[in-house]
A and B are shown apart, each in its own frame.
Chain A
């Protein structure tokens, strides 16, 4: 963990506290800082622009209302915001129909492999680090993690999708997450909760 990173986390936590007090300009700053990364994430999950725009509005209004529940002891502002956005997007995905969703996941996997082409346009430091870490974990673990995170598939849906026993899939996902944590921890030299 670098000092710069620590500072920015603290500054952002302060921003969220200000948002919790109803500070509109703090809310605007938070939007300006996070709307692009969150919108990119929503587009990746929902694959539909109007839907992602709707969802982004829902996410930020929820941030506005839920900011008092943000607890910097539990995790970084980045994690809080991304987790909230991902949850909203997956909710939408699930309510749009489970059958089409697994089909979409199959489609998504074939059209957007890890390290997709869009990434050429965007090479952030963190992006590189996480990509690098993902590339180091075995393919079958990585696939299961990405199916869960971006396609919103549950453990049993992943097992069905990969044609593997549920127990195997669960172990792989746990092992993959442990490995990823280890790799990222090494990269950022940070403490666990702060990554």
Chain B
């Protein structure tokens, strides 16, 4: 609260229906005890309501007028027969909340009990009318429930899509972690080294790969990124170039995001390699490179 306990900002926000639930409760408690703030809130509510003047009036359909006047009469008759819509005489929405409780503004005291009484007439007539009224109120509620149900189903579908997306993200994160672990495993070996393979002019500029390589055991892990998925029937192949002779390594593919991982056991004759290259080859693999070099590194 500010201004000596009179929260002036809250009054303006409440008149605009913009207070959050907690702030609304706090203001409600203050208003109950402060006539000056109540007056100001009522006044600001008048200012807010004047905004409705900026909207062009639209005549509702004539049958709506008839329906509303009929419903009002029916409610009155139902009430006369003791069948008021509920014991408080307040309308309720399909969730059973008293209408007017969720509007985002602090309520004035609840309306009095519905006290009107129609002229006394035959109970049989009223009974029949009341039954009709109750039926129409029920069908209206059922219709509302049906609609709410439909919107909840949509919400559930949306949430389930979000769960799927999160799951995919998690899977991607797990892949990423697995790649990092694979690299780390190889690098844990004493003589291991890492080289970065950069894109040649024949590959997309952002393409690159890291190769962790342990000379002693021949274990190698390559993590590539930015390499577009290989065309049908093709795959990327790594080459270990020792003494000017390319020793073929295994093949790998990349996913839609251009990422791929390869674990390899480098043949003995490739372990002395200081130069590495990646080419695009038929997916069964070749013993000598036929495609252009896409990634390369020399150490």
Interface SS majority for chain A: helix
Complex: chain B residue closest to A114, CB-CB = B54
The answer, among A24, A71, A174, for a CB contact under 8 Å with B9, is A174
- In the complex, the answer to whether B56 meets A122 with C-beta atoms within 8 Å is yes
- Bin chain B's interface residue count: 35 or more
- In the complex, the answer to whether A174 meets B13 with C-beta atoms within 8 Å is yes
**A37-B57, A65-B90 known; A87 vs B115 contact (CB < 8 Å):** no
The answer, among A39, A65, A119, A194, for a CB contact under 8 Å with B59, is A39
- In the complex, the answer to whether B58 meets A148 with C-beta atoms within 8 Å is no
- Bitwise, B113-141 to A at CB < 8 A (1) or not (0) is 01111100000000000000000000000
Of A40, A71, A194, chain B has the most CB atoms within 10 Å of the CB of A40
**A57-B64, A65-B90, A145-B51 known; A173 vs B56 contact (CB < 8 Å):** no
- In the complex, the answer to whether B50 meets A66 with C-beta atoms within 8 Å is no
Tally A residues with Cβ within 8 Å of B: 84
- In the complex, the answer to whether A97 meets B155 with C-beta atoms within 8 Å is yes
The answer, among A31, A36, A57, A76, for a CB contact under 8 Å with B58, is A36
**B residues apposed to A, CB below 8 Å:** 8-9, 12-13, 15-20, 23, 39, 42-61, 64-65, 67-69, 71-73, 75-76, 85, 89-91, 93, 99-100, 102-105, 108-112, 114-118, 148, 151, 155
**A residues apposed to B, CB below 8 Å:** 20-22, 24, 27-28, 31-32, 35-37, 39-41, 43-44, 53, 56-58, 60-62, 64-66, 68-69, 71, 74-76, 78-79, 82-84, 86-88, 90-91, 94-97, 114-115, 118-119, 121-122, 124, 126-127, 129-131, 134, 145-146, 148-150, 152-156, 158, 170-171, 173-174, 176-178, 180-181, 184, 192-195
Q: Supply 22 A–B pairs (Cβ within 8 Å), ascending by A.
A: A24-B72, A24-B73, A35-B59, A36-B57, A36-B59, A40-B57, A53-B61, A62-B91, A62-B100, A64-B76, A65-B75, A65-B85, A65-B89, A65-B114, A86-B17, A118-B56, A119-B54, A119-B56, A153-B18, A154-B104, A170-B13, A177-B15
